[in-house]
Amino acid sequence: MKILFVDDEENIRDLFEEYFKSEFDVILADNGQTALEIASSQNFDLIISDISLPKLNGVQFIKKLRFEGNLTPFIVITGDSDIQLAIDVFRLGAVDFFLKPFRMEALRVRIQKYENAELDMAVLFKNNEVAFQNSELNIEIHPKIKNINKYVALIIQHIQSNPHVKDDDLLSIKVVLYELLANAIEHGTAGISYKEKQLILESNNDYFDVVDNLCKKNERKILIYFRIDDKGIVIKITDQGKGFDLHDIPSPIDDPRGNLLNGRGIFLVRMNIDTISYNQSGNEVTVTKSWSSVH
């Protein structure tokens, strides 16, 4: 996986490179203009950029990339908890938003969710980890957080053949699928609370190993349903967990910092779809999105 990391603070760039160089191909830039030149001449799987940059700030950098037709997913880092700033960058296609200070391990977990992975469907079916239930595209998975890329790729493969789907639609759907499936796996199947997740990330344990061991122990399944037509898509994800109370999720208006740190998944989903609804217990979520070509 090739990552462009942009930050004007040398110590943060050095820390990022030292932490991730053994896992990923890391390219560094110290200002927005240099980052734009690099991103325009090389292909990246992910861009991670600070907002406050010299020569060309982070938002301007991203806007220019999009204007050039570059749809590389990006994560934004900032010390500003202004909710409007978060909304602006999500509208430009951000897949996540980190507030300073943050832990590198938390960032690593987010990066791994977007890491490119080959789609080996034969292995998934052979191991009984995925099974199509019928022609209406109901999918049942025995979830592993380490397989989340494969689950997303499996669904995207069906979606991208629709002639009405544009590249920005696919990017939005990928963000939605990553977030909803991650929530269903981490909280619904593994049964990890937001507080417990934070404690695990602060420990020396591998977060993905912890989640997958709990998934194996709990033996819960996740059901995925999606319907596609010429107007848009409906996605429904159901886990066998206890669910949650929507009122426990911080409001992005009343508490932007709390929302971005704890309820980021739902916040990210809302920025990329038209509607979202939950069943009464909170373990089934349904989202709808119209294709950009029909707006």
**Helix (H), strand (E) at residue 6:** strand 2-6
Give 259 or 11, the one with higher predicted confidence: 11
Report d(CA 195, CA 188) in Å as an integer: 14
| Domain end (from 65, 80, 113) | 113
Q: How confident is the model at residue 25 (pLDDT cuts 50, 70, 90)?
A: very high
Helix 148-159 and helix 167-183, axial crossing angle in degrees, nearest 10 = 140
The mean pLDDT value for 139-155 works out to: 88
pLDDT at 81: 56
Q: How confident is the model at residue 86 (pLDDT cuts 50, 70, 90)?
A: low
Say if residue 101 is in the same domain as residue 171: no
Cis peptide before 101 (omega within 30 of 0): yes
Say if residue 130 is in the same domain as residue 108: no
Say if residue 139 is in the same domain as residue 258: yes
pLDDT in tens, 38-65: 999 999 988 999 888 888 888 888 888 8
Say if residue 42 is in the same domain as residue 94: yes
Q: How confident is the model at residue 205 (pLDDT cuts 50, 70, 90)?
A: confident
Say if residue 287 is in the same domain as residue 149: yes
Q: What's the whole-number average pLDDT of the chain?
A: 81
Looking up residue 236, the CATH number of its domain turns out to be 3.30.565.10
Looking up residue 32, the CATH number of its domain turns out to be 3.40.50.2300
pLDDT over 70 percentage in the chain: 81
Say if residue 158 is in the same domain as residue 205: yes
Say if residue 149 is in the same domain as residue 288: yes
Say if residue 166 is in the same domain as residue 235: yes
**Helix (H), strand (E) at residue 128:** none
Say if residue 104 is in the same domain as residue 248: no
Q: Tokens for 245, please give them.
A: 């109370």
Q: What is the span of the domain harbouring residue 54?
A: 2-113
| Domain end (from 59, 84, 113) | 113
Number of domains in the chain: 2
pLDDT in tens, 213-233: 999 999 899 999 998 888 889
pLDDT at 134: 39
| Domain end (from 60, 91, 113) | 113
Say if residue 243 is in the same domain as residue 159: yes
Say if residue 130 is in the same domain as residue 16: no
Res. 135: pLDDT tops 70: no
Say if residue 92 is in the same domain as residue 224: no
pLDDT at 146: 87
The mean pLDDT value for 140-160 works out to: 86
The mean pLDDT value for 250-277 works out to: 66
Q: How far is CA 78 from the centre of its chain?
A: 18
Q: Is 165 helix (H, G, I), strand (E, B) or coil?
A: coil
Report d(CA 26, CA 277) in Å as an integer: 39
Q: What's the predicted TM-score (pTM) here?
A: 0.68
Res. 276: pLDDT tops 50: yes
Least confident piece of the model among 109-113, 212-216, 270-274: 109-113
